[in-house]
Amino acid sequence: MTVEISFDSNWQDGLLSRMENDGPWANWELFKLAVEVEKHTIIPEFDGLQAPKHLPQLTPLPHQLEVARQVVENMNGKAILADEVGLGKTIEAGLILKEYMIRGLVKKALILVPASLVSQWEAELNTKFFISAVAQRKSYVWEKCDIVVSSIDTAKRNPHRDIIYKQDYDLVVIDEAHKLKNSKTKNYEFVQNLKKKFCLLLTATPIQNRIEEIFNLVSLLKPGHLGSEAAFFEQYKKNARSVQDDEHLRELVNKVMIRNRRSDTGIEWTKRHVETISIETTKPEKELYDSISQLSGNDAFASGAFSLMTLKREACSSREAVYYTLKNMLQRQESPSAAYEQTIGALIEKVQAVTTNSKAEKALELIKKIGDKVIIFTEYRATQLYLQWFLQQHGITSVPFRGGFKRGKKDWMRELFEKRAQVLIATEAGGEGINLQFCHHIINFDLPWNPMRLEQRIGRIHRLGQEKDVMIYNFAIKNTVEEHVLKLLYEKINLFEKVIGDLDDILTKLDFGSIEDHLIDIFGQSSSEGEMKIKMENFTSMIQFAEEMKGGTSHAATGNP
């Protein structure tokens, strides 16, 4: 087998001209330095990373090194890093960036992360990897600094966008990249238009069983690789074949995606202890819930299975949450019918009749008993505000946390929580992109229906660096939809004990659609208790079936060779 050998022949011309002109010649010290530089930058083996040698103070975990190696050696720097939450995707991305910088292949890099993580990324790259990353605070930073960390929301807005489009990036890293799976969004378009040589997409949510998500994410990494969009969809959608069944697609996904599960890492994780706390409500609270349930026959709400479900779930959280939604429902209608107004009015009366919040009482009791840092998650902002007030009334210090906070405020709140306050009250959007390993108690004041979101919540504290066992308390009000969901998702399917990774497999096995849709169907559309029971049984056995199937086959789309 012959390989083409090219020989650098320009050099000798320089030598000849210097001989003719008697110089200029280098001095011996610089000559020696030049050889030393080359010896230092040489890559001695086809395999293996250079970066770890230069980072003596960092001890990456084996799976992190493996990811970095795979991306550099086999994926040509274009990859979706889809490790489960808390396995250290930042470290993996840092290693890859460092490796490319050492090899001189990356000089300019753009790192787009959630606003709340900008400072953290900046700090980690600087202290752990000695990469002089700069958080974008002034607009000249885009041009002047080599490694810039920013939030995508800032970057995509002008004047920044126009400046960024003019830069040639060697590497673009995008954290929480699952937000880019829809190609119609501004964010997607923005990332697509960046000039980039290498690209890393980080996400804890793997590519699921949706052809278009795969197409979109792969197209960001390797535009044109999948053929034209139209031809691609024609071929794959028409047959409605799932990704799993198509060998080529699967092969492709394996070429661009790496996913580690906790169980693969061989690391001793601290345990998760899950405790479900059933809560008895007071009479007015129960009445409020029941009167919402009774609306399902009401014509005015006929089309609103969704909002009814929302109201029910809110009634399980706080009266404030219900009130807020009711008020909105009323305002949205331009000329509400008298009947509609009356129904809402009646509900608002019920809301006003509620004077206590049984869950909050329970939470207070629990927080006092724990006597340590606690995070409370709720889906509703109204509940968040209420809880803050409620805890304050009882002398418990708390700080709020929301996705909408600006970066500085998020950092500040995190710091306050670590140093001053006992409780952090976070809403869903705030769950992403904040690391709180110093705390090991979570109260799920209400439960998200999407298991991925739940995993994100727990992942905030159950991650590398957590030294204690993690306590998870799930609140559910007796005889409500909340209890049903809890029973189904979190007891029958054992969601809490299994880390979510197993569930990915299960979901990808079946062309399932979102769990949330199933739940809404089960709990929202069922006309009787009986129907609900049957649907729940169905759902459970589907999942169990998939689990059994999984036992037999390999981790196709998500596994790595």
Partner 1 sequence: MQQQEIHDFLNRYFQANSCPPTEMTSSHMTIQLSEELDKELMNRPFYWHYLEKTGGVPNPMKLTLVTNPQQAPAEIKGETIHFGSPRLHQIFASAKKLGSYIRLYESRQGQSGVQVPLLPWLCLNMKVSYQCDRKRDVYESIGLQLINGKMVTSFHERLLQLPLTPRIPDYAFTLSPLIMPRSGFMRIEKMMRTQIGNEDHSWAENARQRWKKDQDLLDHFYKGAEEISESYEVEKQALKEQFEPKIHVSIINGGLFYLTEQAI
Q: Does 131 bind partner 1 (CB under 8 A)?
A: yes
Query: Quick one: which segment of 22-30, 284-292, 295-303, 516-524 binds partner 1 (CB under 8 A)?
Result: 22-30
Identify the DSSP state of 405: S
Give the range of 43-51, 352-360, 445-453, 516-524 binding partner 1 by CB under 8 A.
43-51
Q: CB 266 → partner 1: shortest distance, Å?
A: 26
Q: Three-state SS across 447-506?
A: CCCCHHHHHHHHHCCCCCCCCCCEEEEEEEECCCHHHHHHHHHHHHCCCCCCCHHHHHHH
Which pair of tokens denotes residue 146? 């080599």
Q: Are 242 and 209 in contact (CB under 8 A)?
A: yes
What are the backbone angles phi and psi of residue 420, rounded to the nearest 5°? Answer: -120, -45
> Quick check: 4 binds partner 1 (CB under 8 A)?
yes
CB of 14 to partner 1, least distance (A): 6
Binds partner 1 (CB under 8 A): choice among 227, 404, 408, 465: 227
Closest CA relative to residue 152, chosen from 173, 123, 168, 126: 173
Over the window 333 to 372, marking each residue x when it contacts partner 1 by CB under 8 A and - when it does not, the resulting string is ----------------------------------------
DSSP assignment of 235-298: HHHHTT--GGG-HHHHHHHHHHEE---HHHHT--PPPEEEEEEEEPPPHHHHHHHHHHHGGGG-
Question: What residues form DSSP beta bridges with 110?
Answer: 148, 172
43 binds partner 1 (CB under 8 A): yes
Nearest in space to 431 (alpha carbons), one of 454, 407, 463: 454
| Closer by beta carbon to partner 1, 134 or else 454 | 134
Q: Which of 62, 107, 143, 406 is in the footprint of partner 1 by CB under 8 A?
A: 107
527 near partner 1 (CB under 8 A): no
Rounded distance, CA 41 to CA 223, Å?
32
CA–CA distances in Å: residue 3 to residues 10, 11, 113, 284: 21, 23, 43, 83
User: Does residue 561 belong to the site contacting partner 1 (CB under 8 A)?
Assistant: no
When asked if residue 20 is in the footprint of partner 1 (CB under 8 A), the reply is no
User: Of 12 and 527, which has the nearer Cβ to partner 1?
Assistant: 12
Amino acid letter for position 315:
A
Nearest distance from residue 98's CB to partner 1, in Å?
Answer: 6
Q: Least separation, in Å, of the C-beta of 225 and partner 1?
A: 5
Q: Is 228 exposed, middle or buried (0-12, 13-18, 19+ CB in 10 A)?
A: exposed
The DSSP code for 418 is H
Residues 44-83 that bind partner 1 (CB under 8 A): 44-47, 51, 54, 56, 73-74, 76
Q: Using the rule CB under 8 A, is 25 a contact of partner 1?
A: yes
To partner 1, the closest distance from the beta carbon of 18 in angstroms equals: 5
3-class DSSP assignment, residue 124: helix
Structure tokens at 151: 């939030």
Q: Is 12 in the site for partner 1 (CB under 8 A)?
A: yes
Tell me how far the alpha carbon of residue 364 is from its chain's centroid.
Answer: 30
Evaluate the omega torsion of the peptide bond into residue 159 and state whether it is cis, within 30 degrees of 0.
Answer: yes
102 binds partner 1 (CB under 8 A): yes
Comparison of 25 and 554: residue with beta carbon closer to partner 1: 25
Q: Is the dihedral of CA 474, 116, 440, 57 positive or negative?
A: positive
From 230-238, 452-460, 478-486, 498-506, give the range in contact with partner 1 by CB under 8 A: 230-238
User: Which residues from 293-322 bind partner 1, rule CB under 8 A?
Assistant: none
Q: Contact region for partner 1 (CB under 8 A) — 21-29, 152-160, 376-384, 522-530?
A: 21-29
Please report whether residue 98 would count as binding partner 1 according to CB under 8 A.
Answer: yes
36 counts as binding partner 1 under rule CB under 8 A: yes
DSSP tag of 206: P
Q: What's the CA angle centered on 323, arms 320 and 324, to 5 degrees?
A: 85
3-state per-residue secondary structure call for 62-87: HHHHHHHHHHHHCCCCEEEECCCCCC
**To the nearest whole angstrom, how small is the minimum distance from the Cβ of residue 348 to partner 1?**
57
Q: Which of residues 140-169 bind partner 1 (CB under 8 A)?
A: 146
Q: Which is nearer to partner 1, 22 or 529 (CB)?
A: 22
Compare residues 51 and 443 and give the one whose CB is closer to partner 1.
51
Binding residue (CB under 8 A) for partner 1 from 21, 59, 228, 528:
228
Least distance (Å) between residue 218 CB and partner 1: 10
Contact between 237 and partner 1 (CB under 8 A)?
no
Stated as kind and residue range, the H or E segment containing 28 is helix 28-41
- State the number of binding residues for partner 1 (CB under 8 A): 71
Work out how close the CB of 2 gets to partner 1 at its nearest, in angstroms, rounded to a whole number: 8
Does 132 engage in binding with partner 1 (CB under 8 A)? yes
> Is residue 123 close enough to count as binding partner 1 by CB under 8 A?
no
Minimum separation from the CB atom of position 442 to partner 1 (A): 35
Q: Pick one of 128, 160, 161, 222: the residue that binds partner 1 (CB under 8 A).
A: 222
